[in-house]
A and B are shown apart, each in its own frame.
Chain A
Amino acid sequence: MSETLDSPAVRVHGVDMAFGEGESRVTALKQATFEARAGELVMLVGPSGCGKTTLLSVIAGTLTPQAGEIGVFGQRLDGLGQEALTAFRRRHLGFVFQSFNLIPTLSMEENVMVPLLIQGADHGEARARAREMLGKVGLAGREESRPGALSGGQQQRVAIARALVHGPTLLICDEPTSALDKDTGAQILAMIRDLSRAPGRCVIVVTHDHRIYRFADRIAEMEDGRIRRMVDDPKLLDQPHA
């Protein structure tokens, strides 16, 4: 990780990704090119179906594109095997999903422990760190509850704790607020920004919720499988959802 400040944390260049064959072939990414720097929170916005989730999956290494280069903190992901990609995700990535994806039969604390245990951490140590992290997202005292007993906003806070507990260098959030109401969504995004901001960390948030654009350092606007433009100020974007 010998990154200089101006070399990008995430670099996607000329990525093509299509699903299906023949008649039903859908092109999700067309020569997509995108960069995000360490220390910043970049939002990926655009209409539904424009390829945001696909781009995130490519960056996370869960989807392998047909063409293009992907580099994350200097590590080329294109060409890596499944095992290496898995190891890469384990070490460097944190996820926040639209649908939380908390394991319903485990307690909050156990859910947050998962990334640490996957890394082979000792149970007791993982537990202590999970508790600490749950405290940071304001859920101290609820460690033993099951996800089902919590509100959507609380569940997403648990998901944030889980995404950050192992100190990932890249945090990926796919529509983290779309299952939440407006105020809760704003709180969640504020929390993501406050907790995840670190000099060496890059945060990418996919959303089409323009009300949270203000939390971004930069915004990448997607359209039809490619990045149309990058802006520093949300006011510069058209606001089709207004």
Chain B
Amino acid sequence: MYRLALNMLFGDRGKLAMLLCGLSFSALLMAQQTSVFFGIMSWTYTPVVNIRAKVWVSDPMVEQVNDAKPMRDTDLSRVRSVDGVSWAAPLHTSFLQARMPDGNFKLVTLVGLDADTFAGAPAEIVQGRIEDLRLPNTVMIDEWGAQLMSRTEVALDGAVTTRPLRPGDTFEINDVEARIVGICRVRRAFTGGPFAYTTYDRAKAYTLGARRTLSFMLVEPYAGVTPAELCDRIERGTGLRAWTSDTVIWDWSERSLARHTFWWFWRNTGIPFSFGTAVALGLFVGIAISGQTFYSFVLENLRYFAAIKAMGAGMGLLSRMLVFQALVAGLLGFGLGAGMAQAIGRVMIEKGMPPFVMFPQVLWATLAFILGISLVSALIGIVKVSRVDASTVFRG
């Protein structure tokens, strides 16, 4: 009978298409909006991902990773003296105006790394070597930033071309020259601008006038000391704030810098609200469209369900048929919608680094929701069929 139930559902291609449109549209909205939401939110803690330290230390008032409240350089030795610290390296981050070769200004994120250890250096270097940052007035920029800081050239024949910056090109930060010696590949940040990596000491030169430049300290625990333990010791010993660097959204610890950053943005920006509305809208439209289309499928077939009932099918069998039809429609709708969401995500990814992170959990939640909508529709259908009088089949 399930086979016939399936054929009943597939028999009318037009209606099936309507039904699948409704279901897949809501699956798409849910999966896509949620993925973009998580994408954007994951950008907020990009530095934690890019810099890859086990433990971060900051001023006690710092609430999230983009919020630098610089400490004194002497704090570094205080941290180094905490039991369990293998090494601690300084890190500077700031947003600065950079003057491009063509005279335009661009906001860059300056990252100053400890020149001895290069702790916090990008994981993937596309061109050049990190050690080249020891040369005077040098920076390494990220691939995406290189695109953003593209340079316009006018050839002798008057042809105008624009190309991304590359090693050898220069720009200026606070009138200090910055010569590009390498290109790295890092994850994009919420702030959007290019990253310019340099050494911690040179960062002081670029931020002339700043009294304090120690934004964070990157700390490595001794073997056998867990990051969380070390955080406790550092906080007790120095009064500074220490963070772990785990970024697994479903499983991050109490001290995770990424986690605090995520929730800071959640509380202090309109992102959750605007995405929340989009997702809620998706759910609402989804419930309305899919519920309605499945209900009308049942209504149109009510006469035949009544005939099957008259022929001796019990409500048990009819209910199973309806649930089966609804689940099949729901699964197909989910598949189409999630597939479309992934395709859109892929296109976005090809166009640059988009705010798009499709967690499997999001897919599961979408699936559960779509199947939930389908089941509710089936339930309404079952009530309808159970109320239909089998003797209506005798009426013309």
Contact = CB atoms under 8 A, between A and B. Distances in A.
Interface stretch (A34-42, A100-108, A192-200): A100-108
Interface size on B, as a range, is 20 to 34
A19 B255 CA distance: 73
Contacts of A215: none
Contacts of A99: 396
B312 A53 contact: no
A106 B310 contact: no
B67 to A, nearest CB: 61
At the interface, is chain B mostly helix, strand, loop or mixed?
helix
A200 B4 CA distance: 31
B363 to A, nearest CB: 31
Interface string B298-342: 000101100111111110010000000000000000000000000
B390 interface: yes
Given A101-B304, A104-B11, A118-B312, A123 B391 contact: no
Contacts of A117: 1, 4
Contacts of A118: 1, 308, 311-313, 317
B8 A106 contact: yes
Nearest to B317: A118
B387 interface: no
Given A62-B389, A95-B393, A115-B312, A101 B4 contact: no
Interface size on A, as a range, is 35 or more
Contacts of B4: 106, 110, 113-114, 117
Interface stretch (A68-76, A86-94, A150-158): A86-94
A119 B308 CA distance: 11
Which 10 A-B residue pairs are closest in the complex by CB-CB distance? A105-B11, A90-B312, A89-B312, A62-B391, A57-B391, A62-B390, A101-B307, A117-B1, A103-B304, A118-B313
Interface of B: 1, 3-4, 7-12, 301, 303-304, 307-314, 317, 389-391, 393-396
Given A53-B395, A60-B310, A95-B311, 11 more contacts: A56-B394, A86-B313, A86-B314, A89-B310, A89-B311, A95-B307, A103-B301, A110-B7, A113-B4, A118-B313, A119-B312
